[in-house]
């Protein structure tokens, strides 16, 4: 290496060090995005990812309409053991029929989980009273039915997760027969637990009367840390007859999801959430496990406003909020957040709706920001002329990030592709330029300088 090259590299290192000291976010490098396009006449939706010690699993729904308000849903699972080559299994379960919803609002009928021994489980709500579990032990090449959970009341929106103790928990949104008869239509959360993914306990209330929480209870999310399992969810809260606002609650289990502690409010804590915390809506919570604590991210909006922001908070293993919550999004509205940890740093992934398409309509992009540094997020998908980038999610596999999202047409009607953004695994050939000679011309000298 010539002295000139050493000087250039030294100067570059100095600039990088200065940028780091100045508070600039570190750039995370990715390969080009890969789009997964459905068959003609279909759309995709409700993509979900999960990771085990030796594999990544990505699942999505392929939606084939029969009419403007009805159709069939098929499930596809793609699995990779190296982050590069993917094996895709289509029609993992029989099609699920839906009726009474317009395009783009089809129900999510499944949930995906991978446990510590690389078992892949799918929970599929095949009708409004039954959920069938499918299991794969060969990296997603084959799925076989492995159990079922039945309900007397209508169910939907499953959340399946592997517990810290090695079992599984299935959470379901469930209506009440009495409420349905009374025309209330209230929705609560119920759960079933399994040690082996095959034998499942009868559905039981996840939120009980002792929790004293209003219905509906929605959008649960899970994380496990140091032998305990935690679930956050949103539910309305009203004090002294005031207009209800959405708040976030947490429940914890120390026995692999067999029993759950009493729910505790997170976003009603004062002064951490302000002097009037009930004056804000807090929705779509997500939970991540860090080495010694939990990280919560969610959408926060002042009551009466619709420009949601992404916020985050730290939680200790007892479920108490540590310090003050922080705003994490640069623009508003921002939605669909999650937190991932890379090389000792925490990042917030979300969709930013503050952009515009060429025709002036709202545009959605995907942003990745270093937690606690919201001013300069890294755009992963810019605003496109034809598509909105929505519903991002990610896994960390072998210390590398794998990001996924859906491209949704700006004309409505659902998503047209699931997009996979892998980390950089290759480096292009370096560009070399002549400094003190002319390329292609003979010269009589012992050395040459390039850069």
Q: What is the pLDDT of residues 55-94, one digit of tens each?
A: 999 999 999 999 999 999 999 999 999 999 999 999 999 9
The answer to whether 104 and 414 are in contact (CB under 8 A) is yes
Q: 448 lies in a domain?
A: no
Q: 152 lies in a domain?
A: yes
Q: How many CB atoms lie within 10 A of CB 34?
A: 13
- Positions of E strands within 9-69: 34-36, 43-51, 56-65
Q: 435 lies in a domain?
A: no
Residue 179 in this model has a pLDDT that exceeds 80: no
Full residue range of the structural domain in which residue 386 is found: 25-421
Q: 443 lies in a domain?
A: no
The answer to whether 425 and 84 are in contact (CB under 8 A) is yes
Q: 433 lies in a domain?
A: no
Q: 151 lies in a domain?
A: yes
Residue 265 in this model has a pLDDT that exceeds 90: yes
What average pLDDT is seen over the chain? 89
Highest mean pLDDT among 39-48, 123-132, 354-363: 123-132
Residue 413 in this model has a pLDDT that exceeds 80: no
Q: Give the per-residue pLDDT at 430.
A: 58
CATH code where residue 111 lies: 2.120.10.10
Q: What is the pLDDT of residues 304-343, one digit of tens each?
A: 899 999 999 999 999 999 999 999 999 999 999 999 999 9
Q: Which two tokens stand for residue 340?
A: 């991932």
Q: Which two tokens stand for residue 26?
A: 């570190």
Number of compact structural domains in the chain: 1
The answer to whether 299 and 282 are in contact (CB under 8 A) is yes
Q: 4 lies in a domain?
A: no
Q: 200 lies in a domain?
A: yes
């Amino acid at each position: 290496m010539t002295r000139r090259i050493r000087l250039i590299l030294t100067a570059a290192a100095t600039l990088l060090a200065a940028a780091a000291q100045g508070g600039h976010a570190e750039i995370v490098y990715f390969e080009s995005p890969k789009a997964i396009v459905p068959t003609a006449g279909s759309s995709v939706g409700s993509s979900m990812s999960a990771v085990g010690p030796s594999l990544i699993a990505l699942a999505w729904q392929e939606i084939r309409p029969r009419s403007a308000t009805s159709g069939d849903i098929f499930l596809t699972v793609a699995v990779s053991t190296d982050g590069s080559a993917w094996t895709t299994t289509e029609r993992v379960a029989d099609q699920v029929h839906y009726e009474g919803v317009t395009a783009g609002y089809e129900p999510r009928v499944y949930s995906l989980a991978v446990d510590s021994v690389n078992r892949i489980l799918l929970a599929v709500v095949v009708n409004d009273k039954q959920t069938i579990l499918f299991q794969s032990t060969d990296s997603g090449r084959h799925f076989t039915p492995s159990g079922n959970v039945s309900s007397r009341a209508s169910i939907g929106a499953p959340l399946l997760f592997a517990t810290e103790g090695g079992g599984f928990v299935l959470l379901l949104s469930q209506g009440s027969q009495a409420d349905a008869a009374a025309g209330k239509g209230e929705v609560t959360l119920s759960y079933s637990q399994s040690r082996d993914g095959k034998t499942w306990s009868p559905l039981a209330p996840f939120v009980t009367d002792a929790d004293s929480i209003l219905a509906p209870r929605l959008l649960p999310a899970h994380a496990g840390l140091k032998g305990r399992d935690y679930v956050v969810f949103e539910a309305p809260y009203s004090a002294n007859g005031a207009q209800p606002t959405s708040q976030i609650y947490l429940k914890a289990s120390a026995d692999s999801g067999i029993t759950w502690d009493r729910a505790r409010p997170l976003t009603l804590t004062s002064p951490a959430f302000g002097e009037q915390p009930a004056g804000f809506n807090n929705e779509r919570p997500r939970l991540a496990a860090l080495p010694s604590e939990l990280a919560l991210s969610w959408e926060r909006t002042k009551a009466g406003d619709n420009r949601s922001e992404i916020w985050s908070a730290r939680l200790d293993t007892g479920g108490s909020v540590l310090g003050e919550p922080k705003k994490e999004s640069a623009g508003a509205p921002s939605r669909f957040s999650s937190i991932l940890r890379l090389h000792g740093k925490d990042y917030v992934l979300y969709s930013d709706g503050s952009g515009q398409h060429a025709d002036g309509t709202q545009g959605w992009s995907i942003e990745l920001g270093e937690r606690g540094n919201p001013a300069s997020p890294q755009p992963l998908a810019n605003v496109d002329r034809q598509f909105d980038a929505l519903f991002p999610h990610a896994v960390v596999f072998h210390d590398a990030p794998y990001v996924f999202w859906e491209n949704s047409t700006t004309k409505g009607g659902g998503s047209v592709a699931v997009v996979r953004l892998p980390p950089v695994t290759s480096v292009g050939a370096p560009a070399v330029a002549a400094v003190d000679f002319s390329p292609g011309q003979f010269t009589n000298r012992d050395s040459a300088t390039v850069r």
